[in-house]
Structure 1
């Protein structure tokens, strides 16, 4: 049996706009609710002039202080994404609207200094001498730690003398690494994956990297013949501050107060690799569950379910949702995590195809087919047979399906409907019944063991009073009413 996949929360002329997945091409101009087009650096000023004129055309909104502040960040660094999320929380607490655009590391700073954007999400204080138009929000966001990594067994610890005797690599635009290597030869990579590829391929001996970004890359890598080691002691450790162009100096006191409040009562940090709308629903429910027990939380999107699990067990406070058998499936990755015994989401995976419908009677229904699935969805990785294509996102999988390069794609129903509508792929059918359906649960670090039962009780109370279902309905309705 099959059914044409038509999103229940969309209608012609509307598209779902996922929070937390904004790119340069998707920064929204608040005044006229239009998306800014894809751009390069010379066009940025023109875009922001248009945004300013749009605000001037709505004087009532401008007088109300409804400006949307546009901040840049570097997408090649997980650390910069963590800083971005902290800045987002600060703006929300300060009652300010904010949007983020990804730019290369140096261009991000230059754009903020020139006033092309309103600011850069976060930098070390030493940048002030080189960018005179930037003003520091003088409340620490987070600490940045830098370290040296190597595969060479004879290097036991870090010493500055190593920089003169070994081949060194770092990511272009990382200021502390550039300062350290000034006057020395080095190989520069565009991002951290590329940097550690240089190390694995023996094209450099040591890489200099921000620990948060580096450790995540290393833990996702299982193909290197030689283990990658972080050398002690740390090379660099400095606080990170948010920077604004001087034209926005008036909001600095509000942001400083908001950041200090966050630092006094830091939120629980949960990670997820789940795409929209799953992550938006989970985020809303988890925030409400935390609020009811006098806690606050942030749900951070990592782009990869595997990456989320690694971060949850090491430097965050938990994983926003996983299937109940995850601790059996991934005992090592979840050793530091406890399961909250009340579900936060019902996970339902369906099979999608462009071919003739066929009966879905369990995993073996897919035997002998070219099947596509998202990386990091552990139960799919373990159970789906046949010739498998595993990719980070559903967009590419459904495009391959539309091009007849795959026979099926297996995806969560809400995620698939959003993706198909976004990509305008009406000729892909959903097979019924679902391939699998099971509850998803929050995982929280053992250091928060006292919160396990209160969170479970909070989620149960939400189900009883109707807010659990209401939050999902509100999210789907909100996104269905936004134009692209």
Structure 2
């Protein structure tokens, strides 16, 4: 299988302790057991450069702050540009995946086809999702700590629109048995998502970029993601 190939040699410039990467994601992307698509992707990328990695599930804003402070070694799956504010973070130039940000509504009374359609509605999203803090322009905002809470609040009528990522939204609708909640099309945005490392691990950035490229070339990337893509 592709991931059984030997990892390339990497200069031993750091102590070889496992790195801890914060994750704020959810099935099928991340799981507490570390078996999600992104967990497997990063574990293999780090293996190819001769390093071990473990994951720590944290709330979104705390994950970013802890990575910047060096409490954890990095933060996974973030939009580009955060290094301008969080100056202790270094971003890989090769993305993990593309996120599809979607509007979820209950019933058929609201049509959301663009960011402008959110005006006048109560809109919910996850605390610490920076792109949504920038894009959502309405005076009525409900901030949730998790996707599970977000969609439960939508189901309870506490908001008109929930903005969430498509993979996780579909998974939670099934898991929670929610009726009448639908994901609207088209997606509000499609954004490349990246791994950020604390700058003390900057020497690992280029080797990890090449590891991710090699995973695309040899088919490992497609194998990992095809295992868990929703229908």
Partners of 2:149 and 2:46 lie apart in 1 by 35
Aligned to 1:268: 19
Partners of 1:465 and 1:428 lie apart in 2 by 38
Kept in 1, the 8 Å contact 2:67–2:75? The answer is yes
Aligned to 2:203: 450
Taking the TM superposition and a 5 Å limit, the aligned residue runs for 1:229-240 are none
Aligned to 1:384: 136
Kept in 1, the 8 Å contact 2:112–2:118? The answer is no
Aligned to 2:37: 281
TM-score by length of structure 2 reads: 0.84
Taking the TM superposition and a 5 Å limit, the aligned residue runs for 1:121-132 are none
Partners of 1:432 and 1:284 lie apart in 2 by 29
Q: Does 1:321 align with 2:73?
A: no
Partners of 1:338 and 1:432 lie apart in 2 by 33
- In the TM superposition, residue 405 of structure 1 has moved relative to its aligned partner by 2.4
User: Runs (4+) of structure 1 moved beyond 6 Å?
Assistant: none
Partners of 2:184 and 2:72 lie apart in 1 by 38
SS in 1 for 2:87: coil
Aligned to 2:167: 414
Aligned to 2:118: 366
Q: Does 1:335 align with 2:87?
A: yes
Bigger Rg, which one: 1
Kept in 2, the 8 Å contact 1:283–1:320? The answer is no
Taking the TM superposition and a 5 Å limit, the aligned residue runs for 1:49-68 are none
SS in 1 for 2:151: helix
More moved, 428-437 vs 463-472: 463-472
Deviations 1:40-65 (A, max 9, x none): xxxxxxxxxxxxxxxxxxxxxxxxxx
TM-score by length of structure 1 reads: 0.41
Partners of 1:402 and 1:269 lie apart in 2 by 35
Deviations 1:158-208 (A, max 9, x none): xxxxxxxxxxxxxxxxxxxxxxxxxxxxxxxxxxxxxxxxxxxxxxxxxxx
Kept in 1, the 8 Å contact 2:37–2:225? The answer is yes
The runs of 5 or more residues in structure 1 that have no matched partner are 1-263
The runs of 5 or more residues in structure 2 that have no matched partner are 1-14, 31-35
SS in 2 for 1:278: coil
Partners of 2:124 and 2:144 lie apart in 1 by 8
Taking the TM superposition and a 5 Å limit, the aligned residue runs for 1:115-194 are none
Aligned to 2:64: 309
Kept in 2, the 8 Å contact 1:299–1:320? The answer is no
Kept in 2, the 8 Å contact 1:371–1:406? The answer is yes
- In the TM superposition, residue 474 of structure 1 has moved relative to its aligned partner by 2.5
Match of 1:428 among 165, 181, 201: 181
More moved, 307-316 vs 273-282: 273-282
More moved, 306-315 vs 412-421: 306-315
Work out the number of aligned pairs and report it: 209
Kept in 2, the 8 Å contact 1:343–1:442? The answer is yes
Aligned to 1:469: 222
